[in-house]
Amino acid sequence: MLDSFYQALADLGYNHPVHPTQVNMPIGLVVGALVLGLAAILLKKSHLAVSLRHIMTVALFFLLLTMAAGVMDWMHFYSGVWLPVIKIKVGLACFLFLLMVLAVILGGKLKPTSPILITIYLLSFVTVVTLGYFGADLVFGGRTPPLPKQFSAGQTVYAMNCCGCHPYGGNAIAPRKAILGSDKLTDLKTFLGWIRNPRFPMPPFPPERISDAKAGQLYRYATNLHD
């Protein structure tokens, strides 16, 4: 069912993860809550903080959607492999969830400008910033070694499909089986057969996801990587 969902998106021309499309909502709402709370204190305008509980309630709703999308992407693009950065993101997301629940519960019992609530908003803000950092590091983070311009197309394919598990041409899951120097790069036919039907936990990359043309670009990029 999950593959069918991503295939339907691919049929519409969308081949990217769905999680990044959701993250702006809880992040923006958490930042808004913190800004309004601090403004209410600094400007002594308590009415600015009356909607903080409502904001955090909406943020909590979108956080659940964002977490669900993240799990879906993790299962589809990373085959559910517990990469170190995935563990960090899951831990931070759970911590953020608890903070938001506290904000909603205590928001109905304490004054909107209560130091306790402001502290929760501040911790939530720091948590979403940290989540954003590790999310960007997972997708980009210098994990695609730069090569001359003629390999840029392959580098793009690598960034979208490979760098999460193979940062810098290595292998985050099985360090001894790096891309660099791999016998799977002997020739294009071998490489193509490998990405189409790999061994677990590597997910397969059918033509609908990486066409033969893009696979050729990826192969040329991978074969020119160096330590």
The residues spanned by each domain of the chain are 17-139, 149-223
Looking at residue 144, what is its pLDDT?
65
Token readout for 138 is 């997972």
Specify the long-range contacts of residues 202-208, CB closer than 8 Å, at least 24 apart: 202/79, 202/165, 203/76, 203/77, 203/78, 203/79, 205/161, 208/7, 208/10
Contacts with 47 (C-beta within 8 Å, 6 or more apart), sequence order: 40
61 close to 110: Cβ distance less than 8 angstroms = no
CA–CA separation, 164 and 173 (whole Å): 10
Is the model's pLDDT at 65 over the cut of 80?
A: yes
pLDDT at 82 over 80: no
More confidently predicted of 143 and 118: 118
Predicted TM-score of the model (pTM): 0.68
Using 50, 70 and 90 to split pLDDT, how confident is the model at 79? low
Give first-to-last CA distance, the chain, whole Å: 39
Q: Which pLDDT value is given to residue 95?
A: 97
- Alpha helices (H) in the chain, listed in sequence order: 2-11, 24-42, 52-77, 84-107, 115-139, 152-161, 188-196, 212-223
The pLDDT, as a whole number, for residue 146 is: 67
What local confidence, expressed as pLDDT, does residue 60 receive? 95
- According to the model, what pLDDT value does residue 135 have? 83
Q: How far, in Å, CA of 214 to CA of 196, rounded?
A: 13
- Residue scoring higher pLDDT (173 or 210): 210
The rounded mean pLDDT for the chain is: 87
Q: Domain 149-223 has what CATH class?
A: mainly alpha
Mean per-residue pLDDT, 36-43: 90
At residue 112, does pLDDT exceed 90? no
Residue 15 confidence (pLDDT) above 80: no
Taking alpha carbons only, the member of 224, 199, 221, 225 closest to residue 210 is 221
pLDDT for residue 142 is more than 60: no
Type of residue numbered 189:
K
